[in-house]
Chains A and B, each alone.
Chain A
């Protein structure tokens, strides 16, 4: 992949046009992109704007321009800065939702397996595995000092005697270490069917083929149990 002087990947003009059309055809698009006064109140309240080169006003203005070239400049790193807090949507006088637009653009980026999306999501694969294979996003055994050293020395509390500490939680559903709660296999199977039918597994295959293989092995085991 080649990049221009602004770090934006160089792709054919036809692809840029396709991306814009794909976003515009999304059934949520008209709800999220309305009139824009360019007032900037969304950017004034935007949390990631304080730390990243990111502005929800620019997101809306580029979408309103209907210029595929401009919209493409957001498809690599730009869309991944958003915190998805929806402060922008809450305070917009015109009820636009720049956060919603970002969600649509991210979906396109992962569905099409863009290199930038693969790179951003690579460190995220452990979470994707847990969620899609077991129906929970976070498990107690993931909270370990080697993964979260910046959370301080007390994070090691979960490293020792985790199973007995979890057993001491007075909710039977929570007395496991490898899941947030003990999800029944029949429930996982329903989730797999949903992911199959909604194309979620296919999305993961496009963004991380090797992770997809691991997930499918687990899915096959659970389905045959």
Chain B
């Protein structure tokens, strides 16, 4: 049977003056948070001038300040565990731009991947873990930047629950006092992709390669824009403000073509528990609902993600598709990894694509990146390290 292929480019660039109201009558939690602060109920981590904020617009037209400096990196279990180029690319950009930040050992997982997979926690546990990590940023005088979309979604939810429920605040405050901390809540919950989005024109200034022939398909992460949707960035110049603007925005700024595909709204199939213990569901979803539409409808050269679980699921589950006769393959990487790649970051030492399972080499060759040279240098570097050589780090964390 013939496959109908329509290369639907251009929707990403559609502009509109329409402001979403969508019939939703929602309170701006930010205002209520400041009221609680005025009453002395909570402490707030404010975004200050020194954080050099850039303002963005969210789904309902509310303003959200995105801090761009003096940041505390709240890392992701899955990124650090199996996609190390994800956080490294972000730190690489911050070094390029002279951004001040801290990356340290004094951080726990948000524990929300586990919660959504197994149910083995509760709102008090989730909120207490959130406040514990927020307080660590607060005591360092920094603003927390969350790397994982599930952390972002969970922390947005926990912030809302804490603002709306005195009982929860009291219980979390009691636990915080027990561990020598206090109830603090950030003025805004900020995802790294929002930092990338507001910095996209600065990022584009570092571009080294022409991307006009590269077709990207964007997979927006569910927990960025489906959990507490009113607190996610939309832009009237990107998809006419009808889809979240993050990730697509930086791809357009870099000069890539962003192509539409029919299942853009679908999740990746991660399922939190399914990706680990019920993988036949995840891999079927990946191929049937995401990768095949991206390749067959849009001729995608690269799938751009903005989250830990999505990057893992979409990358790791393509090989097994061959068992069903599926030949479609597309490399998968986060927006910040792709941006670093085209801004001259080393393929192996910084973007760390060697950990990915779906072949990314044809993409590098299409862009004009010499990955073979990078591989040779990396292998030589590994030999140096084996012989007792020292790692060349992007950052040294505080020893105390």
Contact = CB atoms under 8 A, between A and B. Distances in A.
B292 interface: no
B141 to A, nearest CB: 19
A7 interface: no
Interface in A79-104: 80, 83-87, 89-90, 93, 95, 103
Contacts of A197: 124, 128, 174-175, 178
Contacts of A198: 121-122, 124-125, 128, 175
Given A168-B385, A193-B179, A180 B320 contact: no
Contacts of B108: 135-136, 183, 187-188, 190-191
Interface in B74-95: 75-82, 84, 87-88, 91
Interface residues of A, number: 81
A123 interface: yes
Interface string A192-225: 0111011110011001000000000000000000
A87 B382 contact: no
B394 A128 contact: no
B381 A168 contact: yes
Interface string B151-171: 001000000010001011000
Nearest to A106: B119
B396 interface: yes
B390 to A, nearest CB: 9
B125 A167 contact: no
Given A124-B117, A143-B82, 19 more contacts: A27-B123, A27-B167, A47-B266, A50-B289, A86-B223, A95-B24, A106-B118, A107-B122, A121-B118, A135-B109, A152-B320, A172-B395, A172-B396, A173-B80, A180-B75, A181-B105, A184-B106, A197-B178, A200-B125
Interface of A: 27-28, 45, 47-48, 50-52, 80, 83-87, 89-90, 93, 95, 103, 106-107, 109-110, 117, 120-121, 123-124, 127-128, 131, 135-140, 142-143, 148, 150-155, 157-158, 161, 164-175, 180-184, 186-188, 190-191, 193-195, 197-200, 203-204, 207
Closest 8 pairs (CB-CB, A-B): A152-B319, A106-B119, A198-B125, A138-B81, A180-B80, A180-B81, A137-B77, A84-B116
